Structure 1
Amino acid sequence: MSEEKAADARLGEALRELWAAIRVQHPDLPEASPVVAGPKARTGGFLLGSLTARHRENPLREGAEATLVALLHEAAHLTAERLGEQDTSNRGHFHNQIFRRHAESLGLAVAEDDPTKRGGGRRGWARLTLPPATAQRYATPVRDLEAALQTYPAPAQDTPPPRGYVKIWCQCRTLRAAPSEAARGGVFCTHCEHYLTADGPVSAD
C-alpha cells in the first residue's frame, strides 16, 4: 500500500470511529459514516458516505474538534429529516429553532447569528461551538482523528495567481483579488463565516 493510500485509510478509519462514537450516544442516527474520498480529501475536505454533505467548508483543515462540530451539525439536520421537521429555510442557509433544539440535544452550544456585528450574517441559529463536556465525551476518537491528521499529506500547492493579483483564502475557498482589495482586511465568506485574506482564514468572532 502506498503512503498516500495508507494515510487515506488511517484518516477514513478515524472518521468512521468518530461517527460510531456519536451513534453510541444517538443510536437513531444512520449507520452511514464519513469517508475520505478522492480530490476533496487532498484539500482537507471530507465526504459523508451516503449521507448528504451540506458543508462547503473543510473542517479537517481546522482539526479534529472542528470536524466533530461539523459531524454533530450534520447529525442535527439528519435528526430533523428523520422526524419530518423543517429545520432550515432560504435554501438551507437559515437555521431555525428546530435546528437549534436538535443541535443542543447532540451536545453543541448554539448561538444566533447577528447581522449587526462585524462578520455577522443572517443564518439564524448557526453559530456552533463545542462545550467542554461534549469535547470530553468524544475525547478518545477526537484524539485518534487528530493523530491521523498529523500524518496526512499536506494539500498540494495552489497555482500562483496571475501577476497583479494576490491569493486570498478562507476555510472553504480560494480566490484572487486585487492587492488594494486584499489590503482592506479581506472578503467575508458567508459559508464558513471567516474572512478570506492573503494570510488565510480569519475568524469573524
Structure 2
Amino acid sequence: MRVKTIGPLVDTYVSSTRKEPEIMTDSDTITGLLVSALEGVWAAIRSRHPDVPEVVLTVGSGSIGSDLTLGHFAPNRWVRGEYELHELFIGGEGLQRGAAGVLGTLLHEAAHGVAVTRGIKDTSRQGRWHNERFRVLGEGLGLTLEHHEKIGWSLTTVPDKTRELYRDELEELAFALVAYRRHEPGRRGGRKSNNNGLSAECDCGRKIRVSRSVYEAGSISCWLCGGTFEAEE
C-alpha cells in the first residue's frame, strides 16, 4: 500500500503482502517496480519469521563521500495514528549488487528488526558494532555472517540454501532492478584534523574521550566489563 512520495528521489511505502510478478507496461515506473519487489521480499521474510516487524520502506541515497550505507533499520521513526512504525531504509547505490546482494541487505536489516521485537541489544558503538547476539539472529534468518575487526559480525552473504528458499522473490527483484543510484562525490578541502581527541566506546556502552597519542599508545581496557574501548570513526 503506497503511503507517501517525498520529493523526486525517495518514495515511501508501508510493507504489504507479496504481489505476483507482472509484465512491465508504459505506465509502470522504475520506483514503483522496485519498491513493490522490495516489499514482496520483506513480506516473504515476515511470513517465515513472525518476529520481523512491519516497516515503512524508504529508498534513497546511502552515500556520503566514501561512506556507503546499504541499508538501515531504525525503530519507531514513523507515526500512524496512535501507533509507531519502524523504518527500513535501502540505499540506492547498493542496488547494483544484484538481487542476491539486496536480499542479503533485507535479511540483515530483518535481523535487526527481530532484535527490536525481542528486546535484544544486538549492536553497540552507535549501531556499528554487531555482536554475537546479532550473529545468532542473522544466521536464524538464513544468512552467513563473517567477523570484521571494526564492525563485528556484520559481513553478510546469502548461501545457496537461502537463495533457493527465496527463489520466486529473487526473480521478481531481479526483474525490478533496472537502475541504481550513483555514489555522491567526496568532499574536497575542509579541516583534516581534530584537536579535541578521540571518542572511544566499549561494547557495554561506556564512552571516554582521549588524545590520539594516548589511544595509539596501546589498548584501553574497560574495568566494568573487561572489554576494550574502540575509537569511533
TM-score by length of 1: 0.61
* Matched ranges for 1:97-108 at <5 A: 97-108=132-143
Could you say if the C-alpha distance between residues 80 and 10 of structure 1 is closer, same or farther in structure 2, counting changes exceeding 3 Å?
same
Deviations 1:125-177 (A, max 9, x none): 11111110001111111111111113x4x657xxxxxxxxxxxxxxx653267
Could you say if the C-alpha distance between residues 112 and 78 of structure 1 is closer, same or farther in structure 2, counting changes exceeding 3 Å?
same
* Corresponding letter in the other structure for 1:51: H
Greater strand share, structure number: 2
Q: Give 1:140's aligned residue.
A: 168
Match of 2:117 among 82, 85, 89: 82
Q: Give 1:65's aligned residue.
A: 100
Gaps of 5+ in 1: 116-121, 157-171, 179-205
User: 8 Å contact 1:108–1:130 — kept in the other structure?
Assistant: yes
Could you say if the C-alpha distance between residues 111 and 4 of structure 1 is closer, same or farther in structure 2, counting changes exceeding 3 Å?
farther
Deviation at 1:67, TM superposition (A): 1.0
Counterpart-to-counterpart distance in 1, 2:72 and 2:30: 16
Could you say if the C-alpha distance between residues 90 and 54 of structure 1 is closer, same or farther in structure 2, counting changes exceeding 3 Å?
farther
Q: Give 1:181's aligned residue.
A: none
Task: Tell me whether 1:20 sits opposite 2:31 in the alignment.
Answer: no
Which stretch shifts more, 58-67 or 126-135? 58-67
Greater helix share, structure number: 1
Counterpart-to-counterpart distance in 1, 2:72 and 2:154: 20
CA RMSD of aligned residues (A): 3.3
Could you say if the C-alpha distance between residues 40 and 47 of structure 1 is closer, same or farther in structure 2, counting changes exceeding 3 Å?
farther
User: 8 Å contact 1:46–1:60 — kept in the other structure?
Assistant: no
Q: Give aligned pairs, total.
A: 149
| Percent identity of paired positions between Structure 1 and Structure 2 | 33
Deviations 1:86-117 (A, max 9, x none): 1111111110011000000000001111x4xx
TM-score by length of 2: 0.54
